């Protein structure tokens, strides 16, 4: 069965902290994604990776960076967390190419205080 | 750039009634279209997708959607809903003109509330 695993479901961090959100997929997918979900705004793409060490900015990359050192793992980094980054973060993966089903993890709820 | 509009933020219906969740996208260029469902405290799950071929697409849990190119719409329908269909539904489009074309652009979501 398809599996995208996000390491932490709930996190509370302080303003200014460096935050790592980890995601692992076991399907040998080339593409991996980080989305942010906020009420009334839907899902917005933060970053996208189509191969190891390759990344593309999404629609809201400011304040975030990513790392993909291994095919199965895609990390989202908040260099200096701020309260406006309090949100639900969703990791996803898919096979290379358009039209392929994107599989989502269960999400990480991040609260920045 | 592509955008997706879900015309209703909330849709309340009674059990066994039919439902339609509306979705429009902005561009007439080639796109792939998707509907995802999110149950409380869970990630998103694919309901159905349109890539090409028949404009009527059938998905899981009795849902179907119709692609209408002239109206740039992809509305989701179910003839008879159950309490368990209560969830948030997202329409999404794959913008093939983008570098990150395999990434999906999502609408803001429609909350379907089914009551008895």
pLDDT in tens, A19-54: 999 999 999 999 999 999 999 899 999 999 989 999
Q: Which of B5, B10, B43 to mutate to test the interface with A (most CBs of A within 10 A)?
A: B43
Q: Would you list which residues of chain A are within 8 Å, Cβ to Cβ, of chain B? A: 4, 31, 33, 35, 40-45, 48, 50, 56, 58, 90, 92, 94, 96-107
Is B93 exposed, middle or buried (CB count within 10 Å of its CB: 0-12, 13-18, 19+)?
A: buried
In this predicted structure, the answer to whether residue B99 has a pLDDT above a threshold of 70 is: no
d(CA A77, CA A63): 9
pLDDT at res. A99 = 78
Beta-carbon separation of A106 and B99 below 8 A: no
Structural domains for chain B: 4-115 (2.60.40.10)
Which of A1, A2, A27, A102 should be substituted to probe chain B, the one whose Cβ sees the most B Cβ atoms within 10 Å?
Answer: A102
Judge whether residue B4 has pLDDT over 90: yes
pLDDT in tens, A82-102: 999 999 999 999 988 777 789
Instruction: Return d(Cα B85, Cα B87) in angstroms, integer.
Output: 6
Q: Which residue would you say has higher pLDDT here, B101 or A15?
A: A15
Integer Cα distance of B11 and A75 in angstroms: 36
**Band of pLDDT at residue B28, cut at 50, 70 and 90:** low
Most confident residue range from A1-5, A47-51, B26-30: A47-51
Query: pLDDT (tens digit, 9 = 90+) per residue, B46-71?
Result: 999 998 888 999 999 999 999 998 99
Query: Domain extents for chain A?
Result: 4-78+87-98
CA distances from B113 to B21, B39, B55, B61, B91 (A): 12, 11, 27, 16, 17
Residue of B nearest to A103 (CA): B45
Give the mean pLDDT of B93-102: 67
C-alpha to C-alpha distance for B105 and B94, rounded to whole angstroms: 6
Residue B90 confidence (pLDDT) = 97
- Residue B3: the pLDDT is 87
DSSP bridge partners of A25:
A4
| Per-residue pLDDT at B5 exceeds 80 | yes
C-beta separation of B60 from B48 below 8 A = yes
Distance CA B47, CA B65 (A): 10
Superfamily of domain A4-78+87-98: Immunoglobulins (2.60.40.10)
Query: In this predicted structure, what is the pLDDT of residue B101?
Result: 55
């Amino acid at each position: 069965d398809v599996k995208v695993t996000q390491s932490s479901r709930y996190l509370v961090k302080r303003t200014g902290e460096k935050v790592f959100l980890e995601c692992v997929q076991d399907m040998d997918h080339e593409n991996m994604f980080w989305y942010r979900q906020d009420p009334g705004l839907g899902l917005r793409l933060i970053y996208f990776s189509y191969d190891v060490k390759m990344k593309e900015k999404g629609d809201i990359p400011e304040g975030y960076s990513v790392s993909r050192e291994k095919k199965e793992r895609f990390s989202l980094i908040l260099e200096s967390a701020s309260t406006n980054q309090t949100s639900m973060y969703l990791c996803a993966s898919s096979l290379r190419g358009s039209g392929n089903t994107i599989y989502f993890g269960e999400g990480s709820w991040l609260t920045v205080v | 750039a592509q955008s997706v509009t879900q015309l209703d933020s909330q849709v309340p219906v009674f059990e066994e009634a039919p439902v339609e969740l509306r979705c429009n996208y902005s561009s007439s260029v080639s796109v792939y279209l998707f509907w995802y469902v999110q149950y409380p405290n869970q990630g998103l799950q694919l309901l159905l997708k349109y890539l090409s071929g028949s404009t009527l697409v059938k998905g899981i849990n009795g849902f179907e959607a119709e692609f209408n190119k002239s109206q740039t719409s992809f509305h989701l329908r179910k003839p008879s809903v159950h309490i368990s269909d209560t969830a948030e539904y997202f329409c999404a489009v794959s913008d093939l003109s983008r570098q990150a074309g395999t990434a999906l652009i999502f609408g803001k979501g429609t909350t379907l509330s089914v009551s008895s």
